Amino acid sequence: MTDMAADLKQRFSQLQDGDIDVVILGAGVNGAGVFRDLSVQGVNCLIVDKSDFGSGTSAAPSRLIHGGLKYLETGEFRLVAQSALERNLLLKNAPHCVEALPTFVPIFSWMRGIPAALRTLMGSTTAPRSRGAVLIKIGLALYDFFGSRNRVMPRHRFLLKGRALKEMPHVTPEIVAGGIYYDAKISRPERLVFELVNDGLEANKGSLAANATKLVSAVDGTLTFQRSDGYAFSVKPKLVVNAAGPWIDHVNTALGAPAHLIGGTKGSHILLDHPELVRSLNGHMIYFEADDGRICLVYGYLGQALVGSTDIPCDDPDNVRCEEPEIEYFLDSVRSLLPSLRFDRSQVTYSYSGIRPLPASDASSPGLISRDHSAPVFEPQAGRPFPIISLVGGKWTTFRGFAEEVADMVLTRLQRTRKTSTERLAIGGGRDFPMTSDERANWIKSVAAKTGVEASRADELLSRYGTTATEIFAHQSDYSDNQRISGAQRHSVREIDWIARQELVVHLSDIVFRRSTMAIEGLLTIQGLREIGAIAAAARNWDSQRLAEEIDDVIALLSKLHGQTLTEESVRLATSPSPR
């Protein structure tokens, strides 16, 4: 049985001086995007992350792929145009995990906010506290204009009060009107980061990837790394890309180029078990202004309601979590917006938080800090013969465009030319994805006939993994697809075995937090976690002590960072998976 980790380990063992052109430090979405782009151009890259692919800031977004409606207010029109274009491209290139999201904006006045908005456009550091119908109508019209390139979604609609309340019956009757426009959401952002890395590895066999790997020294142009299993290796790159997000300043210091580039803010979110709310949203997001003027949102995510987000100055990415005052803030906000629905603390099933790696700024309000990106360069100096390109800012929606800009900088410095654009390059399971209902039905019918799985199962895994599902169905395993995980009955033992063997899993947390959505969906039980752990242990050759440590680590992370507690009492009696 081919094992992806074993294949990479062999390639690392054969690594020679000069084999790697570019080292990318940080495997979030921006670093992974650069890795894929450069690998596609034939540049030998090494991407390294001290944790897992997509485990930092990229694992803590609002899960929106949006054009940046709010950025119109600060006059960042170029960013809005790029964001809207990249949103449209992602709907085409990653249709297995990115889908359209109709968005409702409640409006509470007709004229409010115009003078303040004009002051903000002219450079004022005070954001408008409220936006009336005239201002929102202008904004939505401009948003449609900027989203016209490669348009894939309808233009906005403006609704008077009566019609708006029919569309969103639980919204407070204090509104005077409402607007509906279209953005997009991503169901599995962490998986998409891994898919970008995997695409890069498949595009160029000279590229390498290492998660759970730390930079231990940088001396005279030689970078030395050590993996969590103790294996160490060194490379002498021609160029380094610092894509460490909120850790950028720390990494630059370690490389001998200290600077203050990052001034992040904390964004927290919660998930609610609220079926009535999810039904009433009818597939829409509500994008609204809380009582204190901050922008909040609520929409259905994998059967739950996602509510976010805060925007609090913070510079400690290693110890960030959603605190109780933030949870109460979210609950109070949705109570005010949706007064006919009940909200309480017991409905909160999961919480998460991350640091946005924004550029250092002295803005009086976090909302006024630019969400645009830049790539400052530290040129070579004595003791460091390679330049460092730091990826500052950026966001989920624009990662491909940002990666292309940085890749072009790298290609110029390496005196190479671009072979192909990534603008139309499908990502991972989005490759050959059936886009119409007829195409989907034919795909499901074909896969079911070839593999013997039921059509409903083929449909389920297509939704979860895109066309990568065919690899799972073809996976030769000691386990059956009919064996299911306790508490997560839609996930099979063979499916988890494939992930553990083929997706560069180092820790059990990689499986439950990032290669799957079992944790955020609230599907984990102690027994289910033990079963997943047993599968991973067999695939990764863990002994009983290592397995126990991995299980304890997941339980601790759930409690410390996500407000979930797993107990023995929550477990149904079940046996660990065994070979068929």
- pLDDT tens string 236-268: 999 999 999 999 999 999 999 999 999 888 999
How far is it, in rounded angstroms, from Cα 462 to Cα 544? 34
Check pLDDT > 90 for residue 198: yes
Helix count and strand count (H, E) for the chain: 18, 23
Amino acid at 289: E
pTM confidence score? 0.94
- CA–CA separation, 490 vs 347, rounded Å? 23
* Higher local confidence (pLDDT), 120 or 458: 458
Q: What contacts 549, CB < 8 A, 6 or more positions away? A: none
245 Ramachandran zone, left/alpha/beta (phi>0; psi -120 to 50): left
With bands split at pLDDT 50, 70 and 90, how would you rate the model's confidence at 491?
very high
Do residue 103 and residue 115 come from a single domain? Answer: yes
Which residues, in sequence order, are bridge partners of residue 64?
185
Q: Point out which residues pair with 104 in neighbouring strands.
A: 180, 286
CATH code for the domain of 337:
3.30.9.10
Indicate the DSSP class of residue 578.
-
Q: Are residues 249 and 344 in the same domain?
A: no
CA 299 → CA 117, 434, 517, distances in Å?
27, 26, 17
- 3-state DSSP call for residue 548? helix
Same domain, 383 and 510: no
Q: Answer yes or no: is 464 within a domain.
A: no
CATH of residue 218's domain is 3.50.50.60
Q: Which amino acid is at 286?
A: I
Among residues 544, 535, 517, the alpha carbon closest in space to that of 578 is found at 535
Nearest to 355 by CA among 51, 61, 63: 61
> Side by side, which strands form the sheet with 222-227?
213-219, 222-227, 232-235
Asked if pLDDT for residue 579 goes beyond 60, the answer is no
Lowest mean pLDDT of 9-23, 360-374, 484-498, name the range: 360-374
Last residue within a domain, chosen from 299, 330, 364: 364
* Residues 6+ away with beta carbon under 8 Å from 13: none
- For residue 418, give the DSSP letter: -
Domain contains 84 = no
Q: How many domains does the chain have?
A: 3
Name the DSSP class of 247: G
| 553: Cβ contacts below 8 Å, ≥ 6 apart | 507, 508, 509
Predicted local distance difference test score (pLDDT) of residue 129: 55
In this structure, are 291 and 214 located in the same domain?
A: no
* Dihedral, CA of residue 236, residue 242, residue 246 and residue 247, to nearest 10: 20
Residue 235: count other Cβ atoms within 10 Å of its Cβ.
22
Same domain, 290 and 147: yes
Q: Can you state the angle between helices 493-502 and 4-13, rounded to 10 degrees? A: 10
Domain boundary residue, one of 327, 346, 364 = 364
In this predicted structure, the answer to whether residue 577 has a pLDDT above a threshold of 50 is: no
Tokens found for residue 550: 């991995």
The 10s digit of each residue's pLDDT in 166-194 is 999 999 999 999 999 999 999 999 999 99
In degrees to the nearest 10, what's the CA dihedral of 42, 54, 278, 292? Answer: -110
Percent of the chain beyond pLDDT 90? 77
The per-residue pLDDT for 2 is 65
Task: Kindly state whether residues 151 and 296 are assigned to the same domain.
Answer: yes
What pLDDT digit, counting tens, does each position of 9-48 carry? 888 988 888 899 999 999 999 999 999 999 999 999 999 9
253 with 311, same domain? no
Per the structure, the complete domain to which residue 347 belongs is given by: 92-187+264-364
292/378 same-domain check: no
Is the same domain home to 288 and 271? Answer: yes
**Nearest residue to 487 via CA among 421, 449, 443, 532:** 532
168 and 289: one domain? yes
487 plus 497 within the same structural domain:
yes
Whether 283 and 168 share a structural domain: yes
